[in-house]
A and B are shown apart, each in its own frame.
Chain A
Amino acid sequence: MPPTPTTSPAAAAAPGADGAGAAAGRPRAGGPGRRLGRSGGRPPRREPQGPAWIFLSPWVLGAAVLTLLPMAVSLYLSFTDYNLFDPPSWIGLRNYVQMFTEDPRLLRSVGNTLLYVLVAVPLQLALALAAAVALKSMRRGKDFYRSAFYAPSLLGASMSIALVWRALFNDGGTVDNFLSTFGVHTGGWVNRPGWALLTVALLTVWQFGAPMVIFLAGLQQIPGELYEAAAVDGAGRWRQFASITLPMLSPVLFFNLVLQTIQAFQVFTPAFAVSGGRGGPADSTLFYTLYLYDRGFTASHMGYASAMAWMLLLAIGIVTAVLFRTSRSWVFYANEEGH
């Protein structure tokens, strides 16, 4: 008979009999108890799990009520027509069909999002890598610059910084005024279709600190002997970078690439702030998430917005899978050598 959890008085009594009552304060979730009582010969017993569940309950409740349940509801809503006020009515796949057949603005938002991902992610990663390499070879002030470069990542996702960005790059904003002193009058960036997306991408690129810190950690894992050996063989700095740093760093690069790509697909706040929530000028910053928000909260088509959200999940899943697939050909794991 398998060991029964908590409710068995014998199991509950065990820690007390051991005089190890305090250990019950650090319960393990599931699995047989490792610390057995005096009677080592008996089959392993479970530790009482009640306290474990009570301690876990905030997280479990949070995950269930705030994540899983809403996800389930949104999946249901995606097959309904729901305007927030009247009860949702089942319409089957109509939302999904409409997305592909009669929504030109949706296609534009997909295009914008892809363009943004293709511009912002490579730029951000390149800058992060360059900064990490520069920081690694730096002798003095390393800690200061590391913190300084990292700081924007802490601020980046906030609404306030996006509003500052808008003020900086607006017509008559700081950047415009500054350039005007050199006789270059731009008339603002956030209000021009060709420039607004770039301004938002710039905000993302500016937050290169997070991937930089991860690159830096990765760089420090590369054994110094490799560089020494390469130097003896006469390899220059560029050659060392291309032949040692890049391959050795490729797992970290891959990790950052996946993480930043997923994040970039979900970009919302800067575009929302820069365009006043409309994705303008001329739909140029209308990202997928922004359009989703517009459909759900401005136009009150919650069913349609839910369907869009599930398509986004699917799309990000596919892109991530593709990245993993390609990684086989370019990501190099040092411990694979023996295979």
Chain B
Amino acid sequence: MYRPRTRAFGAAAAAFALCAALAGCSQGASAAGDGKVVLRFTWWGNADRAARTEKAVAAFEKAHPNVDIRTSYSPYEAYKQKLATQAAGGDAPDIVQLDYRQISQYAGSGILLDLAEQRKALPTGQMDKSLLRTGQFEGKQYAIPMGVGTQALAYDKEAWREAGVPPPRPGWTWDDLESVLREVKREHDSPVMTDPGSMEDWFEVWLRSRGKRLYDENGQVAFSEDDLTRYWTYTSKLRKEGLVSPAEGTTQLDGSVENSPMGRKKAMAEFNWDAPSAGFESVYGDRLALAPMPAGENGTMGQYYKPSMLIGISAKSSHPREAARFIDFLLNSDKAADILTVDRGTPVNNRQRERMLPNLTGFQKAVADLQKSLEGKLKAPPTAPPRGDNALQSVFQKDYDQVAFEKASPRRMAQQFLTEARAELRP
């Protein structure tokens, strides 16, 4: 008597189960069927970094057959957004690459594992103490720097040679930059350099070379409207003279080679971070060279050594020991160092540093040489930027767009930026 009802229920239940099963298929990440430990590892970077990292991952998996590392990577902007969403949803990957600007946020919110818990699997004895401090938050080590980098001028050395201009040396000034650009332009008759006005990073170097800084100890803005107006007036002068890229080119900057004026061969030089400048190699080959950033009038250097990126473990990872072993392999082992070289900056592990640096070739040697030429000349790096800085970087670029397209004066946009910055940093 109840049979038909049971049948209907059965059919519906089966259909439901099928749906659930189908949905289930797309999941299934954490535990592979064959009892392997599965770890997720994400980073940002270009294709070259991806190739090197995959190779290092493969070497680790070969040595640890019970571990399966699933990798993914994307450009920085996209990476930042995706990771924040994942972390907010409690689904951060086991192993994450982080920027200096993200540390206070991620460590302070309990997303990262206190690495002291995995001290045995991940020894840090050979790492530079002051650098290790950049991965600490309230006295605990949450992340470990993967490499050291500094700001630089990447340029086409042939273009410089043809114009009869000598390579820039440590201590050259912002005024020198202007006259050098003028000389190179005389020879090539096109914009020489990507407009540096849209990036907060280069403004920071300019500020520091005048003895100032972006943020104070309380994470508040430490420069004045006059400072920013002066910087944007300086870059606008360069732009109006045709020495740097026009607004149409500058506006597309997003950290990728294909959207930068220099990468598209619309300019011959660009401020960048030292190791990531390797991206221009695919366009310029061995014509690519690195020079230090300009200094202030009294020779004050604005650039500094920064942990190029850090690496940490999710507090929710179910296999923190394996994750720690993997990080140990990446940062401390000869094998990984030989594969990764200075792609993420020069090594933090002192033994690897001494072993690697003398044997580098090509552009990687240029990175090492630049850092060597600056030894003892740079001032201490700024304290970790406040949380809101992440958003302000893109506000800076948007505001400069208005200046570059001559929709507003440097002073007006400097005013607006400071208003926005104060709102963003409001405690």
When A and B form their complex, what is the total count of cross-chain residue pairs whose Cβ atoms lie within 8 Å?
Answer: 126
Chain B residue at smallest Cβ distance from A195: B248
Contact in complex: A50, B391 (CB < 8 Å): no
Q: A58-B19, A84-B84 are in contact. Are A25 and B1 (CB under 8 A)?
A: no
Contact in complex: A298, B1 (CB < 8 Å): no
Encode A77-121 as 1/0 by CB contact (under 8 A) with B.
Answer: 000000111100000000000000010110000000000000000
Contact in complex: B5, A16 (CB < 8 Å): yes
Contact in complex: A54, B13 (CB < 8 Å): yes
Contact in complex: B394, A298 (CB < 8 Å): yes
Say if the beta carbon of A122 comes within 8 Å of chain B: no
Contact in complex: B401, A283 (CB < 8 Å): yes
Q: How far is the CB of A78 from chain B (nearest CB, A)?
A: 17
Interface size bucket, A side? Answer: 35 or more
Contact in complex: A171, B249 (CB < 8 Å): yes
* Set of chain B residues within 8 Å of A299, measured between Cβ atoms: 388, 390-391, 394, 424
Which of A171, A278, A297 contacts B248 (CB under 8 A)? A171
Contact in complex: B397, A278 (CB < 8 Å): yes
Which of B12, B15, B105, B251 contacts A281 (CB under 8 A)? B251
Encode A184-198 as 1/0 by CB contact (under 8 A) with B.
Answer: 000110011100000
Say if the beta carbon of A257 comes within 8 Å of chain B: no
Contact in complex: B391, A300 (CB < 8 Å): yes
Q: How far is the CB of B267 from chain A (nearest CB, A)?
A: 13
Contact in complex: A280, B251 (CB < 8 Å): yes
Q: How far is the CB of A39 from chain B (nearest CB, A)?
A: 17
How many B residues have CB within 8 A of the partner chain? Answer: 51
Which of B249, B254, B394 contacts A191 (CB under 8 A)? B249
Chain B residue at smallest Cβ distance from A12: B5
Instruction: Give chain A interface residues in 162-208, CB to chain B under 8 Å.
Output: 171-172, 187-188, 191-193
Q: How far is the CB of B286 from chain A (nearest CB, A)?
A: 25
Contact in complex: A48, B5 (CB < 8 Å): yes
Chain A residue at smallest Cβ distance from B392: A299
Q: How far is the CB of A186 from chain B (nearest CB, A)?
A: 10
Contact in complex: A84, B394 (CB < 8 Å): no
Which of B19, B111, B394 contacts A278 (CB under 8 A)? B394
A337 and B5 alpha carbons, distance in the complex (Å): 52
Contact in complex: A83, B397 (CB < 8 Å): no
Say if the beta carbon of B63 comes within 8 Å of chain A: no
Q: How far is the CB of A90 from chain B (nearest CB, A)?
A: 17
* Set of chain B residues within 8 Å of A277, measured between Cβ atoms: 77, 254
Encode B236-258 as 1/0 by CB contact (under 8 A) with A.
Answer: 00000000000111011010000
* Set of chain A residues within 8 Å of B264, measured between Cβ atoms: 172
Which of B85, B247, B259, B388 contacts A84 (CB under 8 A)? B85
Say if the beta carbon of A276 comes within 8 Å of chain B: yes
* Set of chain A residues within 8 Å of B77, measured between Cβ atoms: 276-277, 298
Say if the beta carbon of A13 comes within 8 Å of chain B: yes
A294 and B111 alpha carbons, distance in the complex (Å): 23
Contact in complex: B394, A85 (CB < 8 Å): no
Q: A84-B87, A297-B81 are in contact. Are A193 and B405 (CB under 8 A)?
A: yes
Main secondary structure of the interface of B (DSSP, over half): helix
Encode B338-356 as 1/0 by CB contact (under 8 A) with A.
Answer: 0000000000000000000
A55 and B14 alpha carbons, distance in the complex (Å): 10
A55 and B424 alpha carbons, distance in the complex (Å): 49
* Set of chain B residues within 8 Å of A191, measured between Cβ atoms: 248-249, 251-252
Contact in complex: A85, B88 (CB < 8 Å): yes
* Set of chain A residues within 8 Å of B405, measured between Cβ atoms: 193, 281-282
Q: How far is the CB of B164 from chain A (nearest CB, A)?
A: 30
Contact in complex: A83, B387 (CB < 8 Å): yes
Which of B4, B248, B251, B404 contacts A16 (CB under 8 A)? B4
Chain B residue at smallest Cβ distance from A189: B248
Which of B15, B16, B87, B248 contacts A187 (CB under 8 A)? B248
Say if the beta carbon of B416 comes within 8 Å of chain A: yes
Q: A85-B88, A85-B111 are in contact. Are A300 and B4 (CB under 8 A)?
A: no
Contact in complex: A24, B402 (CB < 8 Å): no
A58 and B11 alpha carbons, distance in the complex (Å): 14
Encode A208-237 as 1/0 by CB contact (under 8 A) with B.
Answer: 000000000000000000000000000000
Contact in complex: A50, B394 (CB < 8 Å): no
Q: A12-B5, A24-B4 are in contact. Are A297 and B85 (CB under 8 A)?
A: yes
Q: A299-B391, A300-B391 are in contact. Are A55 and B15 (CB under 8 A)?
A: yes
Q: A84-B87, A280-B398, A281-B251 are in contact. Are A57 and B16 (CB under 8 A)?
A: yes
A187 and B248 alpha carbons, distance in the complex (Å): 8
Say if the beta carbon of B129 comes within 8 Å of chain A: no
Chain A residue at smallest Cβ distance from B265: A172
Contact in complex: A294, B13 (CB < 8 Å): no
Q: How far is the CB of A118 from chain B (nearest CB, A)?
A: 21
Encode B1-38 as 1/0 by CB contact (under 8 A) with A.
Answer: 11111011101110110010000000000000000000
Q: How far is the CB of B272 from chain A (nearest CB, A)?
A: 18
Chain B residue at smallest Cβ distance from A297: B81
Which of A84, A102, A279 contacts B88 (CB under 8 A)? A84
Q: How far is the CB of B190 from chain A (nearest CB, A)?
A: 13
* Set of chain A residues within 8 Å of B12, measured between Cβ atoms: 50-51, 54-55
* Set of chain B residues within 8 Å of A55, measured between Cβ atoms: 12, 15
Contact in complex: A276, B390 (CB < 8 Å): no
Encode B77-89 as 1/0 by CB contact (under 8 A) with A.
Answer: 1001100110110
Say if the beta carbon of A30 comes within 8 Å of chain B: no
Chain A residue at smallest Cβ distance from B404: A282
Contact in complex: A21, B4 (CB < 8 Å): yes
Which of A15, A17, A24, A282 contacts B401 (CB under 8 A)? A282
Which of B84, B254, B424 contacts A297 (CB under 8 A)? B84
The 9 residue pairs across chains A and B that have the minimum distance between CB atoms: A21-B4, A299-B391, A54-B12, A85-B109, A84-B88, A281-B251, A191-B248, A24-B8, A282-B405
A-B CB contact pairs (8 Å), 26 listed: A15-B5, A24-B4, A24-B7, A27-B8, A48-B8, A50-B9, A51-B8, A51-B11, A54-B9, A84-B87, A85-B88, A85-B106, A86-B109, A102-B419, A172-B264, A188-B248, A191-B248, A193-B405, A277-B77, A278-B254, A278-B397, A278-B398, A281-B251, A281-B405, A297-B84, A299-B394
Known: A277-B254, A298-B81. 8 other contacts (CB 8 A): A12-B2, A50-B5, A86-B109, A105-B398, A193-B407, A282-B407, A297-B84, A300-B391
